[in-house]
Amino acid sequence: MSPFRAALPRLAAALLASALACSVGGAPGPDGLGPQAAAAPESGTAPPHVPQARPVEPHQPDTVRASRLPEEARRTLAIIAGGGPFPYRQDGAEFRNRERHLPRRGPGYYREYTVPTPGSTDRGARRIVAGRDGDRWYTDDHYRRFRRIEDP
């Protein structure tokens, strides 16, 4: 049996459900999704306000003022602003934003920098990610959550 023929019962059910929804809820509105609003009564009063659905925004990360960051992060910001030298060889490497926690940008837009963690024997989990246009982000849990860094 062809894939099209196998999908016919599901397609017919979806069309029937759509037709029933329109007959129960009225004609579809201008957007084709919801029922059309009722016309205003002759008395001149407007129909009750129906709030319009707003598009869902991608998650907006928290912000943190640079002055509220740990001292080590503020030092790292100063080193980034001065162009180095950087204490870790990985500093300045491309951050690819694979998990898409940050706004989508083109390849090479983001660079990552280590924020030293006192008492840690390795680079630790803290990082600053800097965008080419000056946006900066802080994470203290190895990229699970970011906070946009605001200047004081």
142 is a catalytic site residue: yes
Tokens of 31: 């957007």
Tokens of 19: 């037709």
Q: Terminus-to-terminus CA distance in the chain, angstroms?
A: 67
Q: In what order do the strands lie in the sheet with 62-65?
A: 62-65, 147-150, 136-139, 127-131, 110-114, 93-95
Beta bridge partners of 28: 35
| From 71, 94, 142, 150, the catalytic residue | 142
Q: Please choose, from the candidates 66, 71, 57, the residue with its C-alpha nearest in 3D space to the C-alpha of residue 103.
A: 57
| From 49, 57, 71, 112, the catalytic residue | 112
71 is a catalytic site residue: no
> Catalytic residues, which ones?
112, 142
